[in-house]
Amino acid sequence: MGLLRGLRSWLDERFGWDALIAPLRKKTVPLHRFSYWYFLGGITLFLFIIQVVTGILLLLYYRPGASEAFESVQYIMTRVQFGWLIRSIHSWSANLMIFTAFAHMFSVLFFKAYRKPRELTWVSGVILLFLVMGFGFSGYLLPWNTLAFFATKVGTEITGQVPIVGRPMMIFLRGGEEVTGATLTRFFGFHVAVLPGLTTLLILVHLLLVQRLGISVPPKLEAEWKASPAQRREMKFFPNFMLRELMAWYVALGVLGALAAIFPWNLGIKADPFVSAPAGIKPEWYFLFMFQTLKLIPPKVWFIDGEVIGVVVFGLIALLWLLLPFLGRNHPSRVQRWITGIGIFALAYMAGMTVYGHFAQ
């Protein structure tokens, strides 16, 4: 303890450490029956940290390139000490992170935590969700197996349906007309350099905003607390909430370890661009609701391609979702009721379509 105190005093003399962490000491977390939803953001952050650490470890052995990628992942899975564990945790953690990010977003939506003054927190959070999905899309191709190859082919083809900019975007993503080794190198670049850089920056902005604005309380509860301040209950962020958050992280770590040990992530069969696509090919679960919707749209609606309509509609929904806190500022209560309804519909639609897409032939 003496050593720690000495180190702290040393840091305080040089950086004003105590002043730096003073806001954390003062920070409180509202305590109510929904408080456990506050853990979701932290768990997503923890899973992101896991991704960074395991990703760096995988980088020690992974070799991007059509002739080497699959073999290098196979090497990691079979020859590298605990390579299987690192890769399986990386894959499972990626999926769990996307799940917790979605759950976090919907909890924010239903507790209306996006309201003024937290609009930018919402915007940064939604962009982070898109970036996380980008991580999923780019990382899925990296083992260069058959499923990944054809899922990327279909995924980039859908991008090509965006009017005007679609085709140049598709060629940019693929590094040419077709999905080749050039696409793999490109996706590797996005996955390990572009996306981590952008995501880290945005996470810092997101956390800074959370720190500056404090944690939101559901409107109903906020009104009750305003009417009767004695009812207001809070918990110190440090160490009380932080320790609980750490406990949640430990649970997440246990779940990750169990998934990796009992269900190690499958490697599949090496991609062969010259064979036909496996029957019933589907994207990863988090893209399935969009994929299934596009499949249900007729090939032609009036004179426009059905797929183009689907892509444009999804693009517009994504834009509206991003700008959600700025909608109906003149009639906040009425619009907020609408937003809750839309949120429930969106959640039900996404869940329903994902299940339908999973079982559809």
Token pair in block for residue 338: 């609408």
Number of residues that bind another protein (CB under 8 A): 24
Closest CA to 219 of 336, 106, 331: 336
Give the CA count within 13 Å in the CB-facing half-sphere of 30. Answer: 20
Q: Strand, helix or coil at 343?
A: helix
Stretch of 18-26, 198-206, 265-273, 310-318 lying at the interface with another protein (CB under 8 A): 265-273
The candidate with the shortest Cα–Cα distance to 327, out of 88, 123, 43, 54, is 123
Tokens of 229: 């301040």
Give the residue with the Cβ less far from another protein, 232 or 270.
Answer: 270
Name which of 270, 265, 269 is nearest 84 in CA terms.
265
213: which 2 tokens?
């604005």
Residue 143 or 325 having the CB closest to another protein: 143
Residues 26-45: x/- map of binding to another protein (CB under 8 A)? --------------------
Q: Does 267 bind another protein (CB under 8 A)?
A: yes
Q: Exactly one of 37, 46, 62, 84 binds another protein (CB under 8 A); which one?
A: 84
CA 333 – CA 4 distance, rounded (Å): 51
What is the x/- site pattern for another protein, positions 56-75, by CB under 8 A?
------------------x-
User: Nearest distance from residue 56's CB to another protein, in Å?
Assistant: 21
Per-residue contact string for residues 94-133; x = within reach of another protein by CB under 8 A: ----------------------------------------
Give the CA distances from residue 139 to residues 224, 244, 253, 301, in Å, rounded to whole numbers and listed in that order: 46, 31, 21, 34
- Closest to another protein by CB, 180 vs 240, is 240
Tell me how far the alpha carbon of residue 122 is from its chain's centroid: 14
Q: How far is the CB of 339 from another protein (least distance, A)?
A: 36
Q: Which stretch binds another protein (CB under 8 A): 19-27, 77-85, 210-218, 327-335?
A: 77-85
| Shortest spacing between CB 45 and another protein, in angstroms | 18
- For residue 330, the minimal CB distance to another protein (Å) is 45
> Token digits for 112?
């209306």
With CB under 8 A as the contact rule, the residue among 166, 181, 219, 264 that binds another protein is 264
Site for another protein in 223-262 (CB under 8 A): 239-240, 243-244, 246-247, 250-251, 253-254, 257-258, 261-262
Rounded Cα gap, residues 107 and 356, in angstroms: 24
311, amino acid identity:
V
Closer residue to another protein in complex, CB, 87/112: 87
When the beta carbons of 208 and 258 are compared against another protein, the nearer one is: 258
CA 272 to chain centre: 30
Cβ 244 to another protein, closest distance in Å? 7
Nearer to another protein by Cβ, of 85 and 101: the residue is 85
Q: Which of 280, 307, 269, 97 is nearest to 196 (CA)?
A: 97
Residues between 126 and 165 with contacts to another protein, criterion CB under 8 A: none
Per DSSP (E only), the strands in 93-246 are 234-236
Give least dist CB 260 to another protein, A.
8
Neighbours of 111 (CB within 10 A): 18
Neighbours of 110 (CB within 10 A): 16
What DSSP string runs through 57-108? HHHTT---STTTHHHHHHHHHHTSTTHHHHHHHHHHHHHHHHHHHHHHHHHH
With CB under 8 A as the contact rule, the residue among 67, 78, 231, 340 that binds another protein is 78
Cβ at position 250, least distance to another protein in Å: 5
Residues that bind another protein (CB under 8 A): 74, 77-78, 84-85, 239-240, 243-244, 246-247, 250-251, 253-254, 257-258, 261-267
